Amino acid sequence: MNTDLKVWLDHFEYHSTHRYVLPAGKPGDLTAYERRLIGSSIAAFQLGEQSEGRSLRLAAERYEREHHASPLTRIVSLLIAEEQHHAALLGAFMDEHGIPRKRSDWTDHVFRRLRRLAGFELYLSVLVTAELIGKVYYRALEGATGSRQLQTLCRMLVADELAHVGLETDLLRGMHEKKSPAVRWLHTATLRTFFSGASLVVWFGHRRVLRSAGYSVATFLRACAAQYSFYLDPPQIQGVEYV
């Protein structure tokens, strides 16, 4: 694997000891209307962030053994812990504003089932799909509220997601470099199709918040597609440098 795992290990270990804290809110910071608007939507994302990550960790362990990719498992464990911290931040915000938590959500169930279908590479593909769409969602959530507390929280989450996407695309690029052009093309076509379908699923599940932020289904899908193109287009996956 060509990925410099030591760089990623240093990044996630540093952030594991420098966690974000929920910014202080003010009384009435979140209006009753906004609470009704975002409540169910933010609860679904909070549920998605709190996965224990057992299957992902096991897949990383297998990949590390088979490809001599130490310290991949440690990095993935730190990534999972950071996602769980996101869930804690969102949960604390919800508790502060009387937004009930969810025990289950069908979109979360679909993503979790898909991640368990195969090995580490498929897991990464599903995970990076969720992260990229999540970046668009959190920006929309920031625009849909006048709450400074929630806006700051959204920016914090997006900042972390940028690093998550960087790691995941770096790993995928390293995997793809070892494949034949035909296999790379097939994987990319499959991932693009899955990504488009997942974007549409998120639109239907969270369209009230997205519409409030000014997105139509077309503009939301375009925003998600732009994220995909920047990080996962074939020329980038095949080794062209990107940022």
The CATH code of the domain that includes 91 is: 1.20.1260.10
Is residue 107 situated within a structural domain?
yes
> How much is the pLDDT for 28?
84
205 falls within a domain: yes
The answer to whether the beta carbons of residues 132 and 84 sit under 8 Å apart is no
pLDDT in tens, 194-206: 999 999 999 999 9
Give how many domains the chain has, as a whole number.
1
Task: Give the domain extent around 220.
Answer: 29-237
Residue 20 lies in a domain: no
Average pLDDT over all residues of the chain:
89
Task: Print pLDDT tens along the chain (243 aa).
Answer: 556 899 999 999 999 999 999 999 888 889 999 999 999 999 999 998 888 888 899 999 999 999 999 999 999 999 999 999 999 999 999 999 999 999 876 665 566 565 555 689 888 998 999 999 999 999 999 999 999 999 999 999 999 999 999 999 999 988 888 888 898 888 889 999 999 999 999 999 999 999 999 999 999 999 999 999 999 884 544 444 433
* In a domain? residue 127: yes
Model-level pTM?
0.88
19, part of any domain: no
Chain mean position to CA 183: 25
Residues in the chain: 243
In a domain, residue 102? The reply is yes
**Apex CA 34: angle with CA 28 and CA 36, to 5°?**
115
Q: What is the pLDDT of residues 101-129, one digit of tens each?
A: 998 766 655 665 655 556 898 889 989 99
Q: Which of 40, 72, 51, 82 is nearest to 170 (CA)?
A: 72
CB atoms within 10 A of CB 68: 8
Cβ-in-10-Å burial (0-12, 13-18, 19+) of 20 comes to middle
